Structures are given as structure tokens and as C-alpha cells.
Amino acid sequence: MQNRKIPIRQVVIVEGRYDKIALSNVIDAQIVTTEGFSIFHNREKQALLRRLGAERGLIVLTDSDGGGTQIRAHLKGLLPPEQVTHLYIPRIEGKERRKRAPSRSGVLGVEGMEREVLARLFSPFDAGNAAPPRGEEVTRLDLYEAGLLGGTGAKEKRAALCRRLDLPPLSSGALLGAVNILFDRADFLRLIAELTLAT
């Protein structure tokens, strides 16, 4: 089926949200952005990537320009090599449709790649029918009802949960993103129930 999304078990890392949007049309996977160079200083995101690498493995796909090379090099220093697979897009001259002018390097980034190119890159990692079904996502309301958002002691409860998950203390927004990668809603609620019973 031509428009079938390729199921991928690993978590995929790209640079920005437009890369994520383009890739979401090709693969069925958890996709995390580095938000450009902010990954260099974002300790929360770094810790999350280490955790995801240990649990699921990571696939890194950056642009083929100088910025993408710098981000990839930083990730190589940050993450154990046995947990990471690096994929590379071809170096094609041109500009993305949403941009008025080409990038400084004059080549297309991940967002500018044709669907067929991205599909070829990820086809060796096709999890096929064995890909785990994805459940409901955790919502801000779930965090609120668990006492992790708003109200007295929410910050302390988030810190306790982060310790349980081997993550640094996270803001409510960062925590929501992390738990939606690590768990589906049912598993998250089970974890919260266990933590509540243990206190």
C-alpha cells in the first residue's frame, strides 16, 4: 500500500517541528525534536533522550548541512553509540516550499525530502505487524487529577515521579511530553496508582 506508514519501534530524533511533520506522514513512530541547537543546553531533553535510548533505541536523522552535522556530533557525544542508529538524507540542492529563499547551504533539509526518499531510509527498520499498538495519550487533565499539575505539592510530586523514572525534575509541560513517549495512558495511570499506594 503506497501510503502505508512504516511502523518504527525506535524513537526518532529530528531537528525541528517541520521535520517532524514531514516524517509523521511517512512513519508511525515517536518523533522527538532537538529544537535546533537548544539540545546543547536542555538538560531535561538530554536526560529524556538517554532514557529513551536505553529503553527503545534511537534513530537520528538531521539535515545534511553544517547545523545538522553539529547537532549529530553533539548527540554522538551525549548518547551511547550502541543505542543509536544514524540515518543520512541525500544532499540535494533546492529550497523547501515554505521558505522564500534556500538555506545558507543551499540544500534541502529533512522537511524537503520526497516521501519516497524518507520511506527508503526507514524501510530497513519496518517493525511490520509486530509494532506495538498505541494507546490513548496522557492529557494535562490526567496530570492534574494525579496531583502533578496545579495545586499544593504538585512540584514535589512531579519530582518524585521523575526520580522514579530516572529523569531530572521536569516542568508539567516537559513531563507530559516525556510520559507520552514512555507510556500510553493506561500504563501511566497504573504507575500513578502504584506510586499512590506506596506513599
Q: Residue 108: its pLDDT value, please?
A: 86
- Residues 23, 8: contact at Cβ < 8 Å? no
C-alpha cell at 157: 510530586
What is the pTM assigned to this prediction? 0.74
Average pLDDT value over all residues in the chain: 85
Q: How far is CA 43 from CA 74, 100, 167, 173, 179, in A?
A: 13, 34, 10, 15, 17
Listed in order, strand segments (DSSP E) in 57-106 are 58-62, 84-88
Query: Is the predicted pLDDT of residue 2 greater than 70, yes or no?
Result: no
Identify the CA nearest to 9 among candidates 187, 184, 181, 132.
132
Report residue 1's pLDDT band, with 50, 70 and 90 as the boundaries: very low
| Per-residue model confidence as pLDDT tens digits over 84-128 | 999 988 888 877 777 766 667 777 889 889 999 999 999 999 987
Segment 124-182, tens digit of pLDDT: 999 875 555 667 889 999 999 999 988 888 888 888 888 888 776 777 887 888 888 77
| 30-53: pLDDT as tens digits | 999 999 899 999 888 898 899 899
Measured between alpha carbons, how far is residue 117 from residues 27, 63, 121, 144 in Å?
A: 12, 13, 6, 42
CATH 3.40.1360.10 in the chain: give the residue spans: 6-130
Cβ distance 172 to 149 under 8 Å? yes
Looking at domain 6-130, which CATH architecture does it have?
3-Layer(aba) Sandwich (3.40)
Confidence of residue 199 (pLDDT cuts 50, 70, 90): low
| Strand intervals (E) in 8-94 | 11-14, 27-28, 31-33, 58-62, 84-88
Cell, residue 50: 538517554
Using the CB atoms, write b or e for 151-161: b if 16+ within 10 Å: eeebeebbbeb
